[in-house]
Every structure is written in structure tokens, then in C-alpha cells.
Amino acid sequence: MTTTRVRLPRQFRPTLSQSLTIIGLIITISCIAIALLAPTLQNIGWLQDPVEALANPIHEAPGADYWFGTTRQGYDVFSRTLFGTQAALKVVILATTISLILGVPLGLVSGYLGGRIDKVLLFFMDTIYTLPGLLLSVTLAFVVGKGVLNAALALSIAYVPQYYRIVRNHTTSVKTELFIEAAQAMGAPTSRILSRYLFFNVIQSVPVLFTLNAADAILILGGLGFLGLGLPPEVPEWGHDLRLALDALPTGIWWSATFPGLAMTTMVTGLSLVGEGLSDILNPGVKIR
């Protein structure tokens, strides 16, 4: 008996880019679900308290009792890894949202008005843009201190120039279009031109930048935590856990660093894949074939 293989028409076959985007979405949605469900899982007794050490601190290897093992300080690695997802999402969403709220309006105003305002803002933003993101975040973290909001503020400053530059460049191009000149000739106020005619024509790349910045922010937050500058010690955070695990690695406690590191890598990979997929969808003209 012979079997026939059903082949989908070419238009229904996912490309490699689409497949990677789907994988990225699955990873990202899974991370969000973990962050939302972690407190509930703890309340029903399926997760240990991430900030409560064992009564007799002793490191346990991964097994039936502790899936990811325990740290040398007696913390459950599985619980801290899951709650670390929640902390990362809080900081990253806040940081990227703050930078978007600041960068997009500044880019619109600078690109549309031009002149001295444009020169001053461009100089200021280019100065910030030339500084390495981690170095800038470390410096600001020293100033503002620890905490979710403070860490988000320290991260957001590094991303404001990126939103500003991409929106400003698009605005500079679009403001010479006929429909903008027609709105000006009809006496439309500047605020209306910016919000109604320009805004929706210059934000095509903002979702892509938002997603890629979120992936980058996770790495920088991990760096801040590793240096002891991110969140308070009582908040489960991957970078802080990696710092605690550093001294334990020579003693063979590999699991205390492996699982937080894998969680960070997985989340960054998922967001990066989503960002690349959005870039292909929103900017098909620059897609490499």
C-alpha cells in the first residue's frame, strides 16, 4: 500500500523567518505566562518561597525534591528562576515604555520643527547614544539607587536616543509630503499635524525597536544585578543569582548558575526572534532574501 504525501501550496508554507517568529512568540508568551503564574503557584504550594532559605542551608543537587537544586545559601533555584522572570519583565516593560514615551515625541517635534531645537536635541541625543548602554546604566544606577522603578529609569535613558533618532529621521522625510503641505496650507495647528498626520506615518519601526530593546534591557539588567546595582537583594533576579553562584562554581554547584543563565538566554532569544519577525512584516522592503 502506497501513501501519498500532502504538500501545502507554496503560499501556505511558512518561511524560515515566519517559523522563527512563531518560535519567538511561543517563548515570549511562555515567559509572560510564567511571570503571571509564579505567585499563584507559590500560593498553592507548588513553589518554594524564593526569598526564604531552608532551615538547614545545604546545597541540594537537582532532583525530585528540588527540580533545579538549591543554592549554597539554601534557596530553591527553580522558584528563584521563575520569579526572576517576573522581575525581569517588570523592569524591562517599564524601561522600554519610558524610553518610548520620551523618545517618540521628542523625535516628532525635532524632525518637524527643525532649526535650533533640532540641532540642540540632536547634539544631546547623539552624545548619549555614543555612550555604551551598560556603562550609562551603571552610572545612573549609582545615582538613583536600587529598586524596580530606579532600575527601569537607569535602563531607559540609554534607549531614548534610539527612538528619537528613528522617529526624527522618518519625520524629516515625511514632512515634505503633499498631504503635510496641504494640512499646513489649510491652517492646521502643529499639534494636530504631529498627532494626526505624522505620528501614524513614522512609527512603523517603533514596535521592532521596542522588542529588540526589551531583549537588550534583560542583558543589561542582568549586568546590573551581577554588579549588585539592580534590584534589592531580597528580590529574585537572574543577574544577582549569577553573582551569588560565582563563588559556588569551583565547589561543583553548577546548577545555581546554569538555570538562571539559561532562563535569561531563552527570554532574550525569544524577544530577538519576535523583533526580527516584526521587522520583516513591517519593513518588507529591507528584508534580505
Q: What is the pLDDT of residues 34-86, one digit of tens each?
A: 989 988 988 888 888 888 877 566 677 888 788 888 888 888 899 999 999 99
In-domain check, residue 215:
yes
Question: Using CA atoms, how far apart are residues 154 and 165, in angstroms rounded to an integer?
Answer: 20
Count of domains observed in the chain: 1
For residue 13, what pLDDT is reported?
A: 54
C-alpha to C-alpha distance for 23 and 277, rounded to whole angstroms: 10
Q: Is residue 288 part of a domain?
A: no
Bridge partner list, 76: 70
Which residues form the domain of 27? Answer: 16-55+67-282
Radius of gyration of the chain (CA): 23
Give the separation between CA 225 and CA 219, rounded to whole angstroms: 10
Domain assignment of residue 268, yes or no: yes
Residue of 218, 183, 212, 194 lying closest to 283 (CA atoms): 212
How many Å apart are CA 77 and CA 48, to the nearest integer? 9
> pTM for the whole thing?
0.85
Angle at which helix 148-174 crosses helix 206-226, to 10 degrees, equals 150
Dist CA 273 CA 276 (whole Å):
5
In this prediction, residue 9 carries a pLDDT of 52
* In-domain check, residue 8: no
Specify whether the CB–CB gap between 278 and 207 falls below 8 A: yes
* 47 found inside a domain: yes
| Residue 3: exposure state from Cβ atoms within 10 A (0-12, 13-18, ≥19) | exposed
Number of CB atoms found within 10 A of residue 57's CB = 12
Inter-axis angle of helices 255-282 and 77-113, to 10 degrees? 30
User: From the centroid of its chain, how far is CA 141?
Assistant: 18
CA atoms of 237 and 289, how far apart (whole Å): 39
For residue 167, the surrounding DSSP H or E stretch is helix 148-174
Residue segments in the chain with a per-residue pLDDT below the cut of 50: 1, 6, 8, 12, 286-289
pLDDT value of residue 11: 52
Question: What pLDDT sits at residue 43?
Answer: 86
Distance CA 224, CA 122 (A): 28
Whether residue 204 is contained in a domain is answered as yes
* pLDDT at position 287: 46
Decide if 257 is inside a domain.
Answer: yes
Name 265's Cβ contacts closer than 8 Å, sequence gap at least 6: none
Q: Which amino acid is at 59?
A: H
Please answer whether residues 150 and 235 qualify as being in contact, where contact means their C-beta atoms are separated by less than 8 angstroms: no
Q: Does residue 2 lie within any of the structural domains?
A: no
CATH of the domain at 140: 1.10.3720.10
